[in-house]
A and B are shown apart, each in its own frame.
Chain A
């Protein structure tokens, strides 16, 4: 496996979707190549940073409105439920 091939397999490696054979080759390359080791590490850092971006959320009036709509819906469709 060359470095150019290695860098294309990183997501598959992290998702655990490489075949056993590919995975063995990937691990063997990783153990010997500081450049690819660094690339993999930087890929992990990138994923970690993406995960730290704040999630989008509904505005709180919007959320309240929905909960109100749910209460109304419940009342309308299930008058006996409380």
Chain B
């Protein structure tokens, strides 16, 4: 995430656009480095392979250059770039069915994010309280190869809209406002998608650590 601070701040955007128009290569390089990560991620939601995603991002940057003089600042630069990216991805005509509608929530975004059977029911002493607390995780969980694998698989298995929001927020470090802006969703929907996605990833990790714990108990 280094080197991207200057392109993330909305207040500096007019300045950034002016620098690009003036032909400031440093400004362009820093924008490409700062934004290509999320652009690749979003392109991947539309096209089948990483190499096609890379092509789409390349084409998007070229289209951004071609269109820069016409950019009027009516939307943020980020939103404008994202629209060009979506159009480029769709123009490829590949897997259009993968196009992810963001406008509204769907049934998979409904309901509790933690298995309701883990909480006490109405007849129990503390309805809505944990039946049993979540097991403790090891101290200082690090992103070992196995944990990395668990998190990556969890992310891959998320419904696309949740995956995109989690990736933009937690992998790429965008703010809630930026994600709403880019995806055209409400703050409430952004929060629901993010929370569900994170809860699913946590549940994957929980299963992994619980299994690891029982394996180590068996071996004792």
Contacts and interface: CB of A to CB of B under 8 A. Distances in A.
B16 interface: no
Contacts of B78: none
Contacts of A20: none
**Size category, A interface:** 35 or more
B69 A77 contact: yes
B15 to A, nearest CB: 17
B137 A4 contact: no
Interface string A36-51: 1011001101110111
Contacts of A43: 198-199, 202
Contact of A51 (B25, B127, B170): B170
Nearest to B65: A73
Interface SS majority for chain B? helix
Interface string A45-71: 111011111011111001101110111
**Size category, B interface:** 35 or more
B171 to A, nearest CB: 5
A2 interface: yes
A56 B194 contact: no
B205 A46 contact: yes
A65 B134 contact: no
B198 A49 contact: no
B65 A55 contact: no
Contact of A55 (B28, B166, B172, B205): B172
Contacts of B133: 34-35, 38
A34 B132 CA distance: 11
Given A17-B191, A50-B170, A58 B205 contact: no
Interface of A: 2-5, 7-8, 10-12, 15, 17, 33-36, 38-39, 42-43, 45-47, 49-53, 55-59, 62-63, 65-67, 69-71, 73-74, 77-78, 81
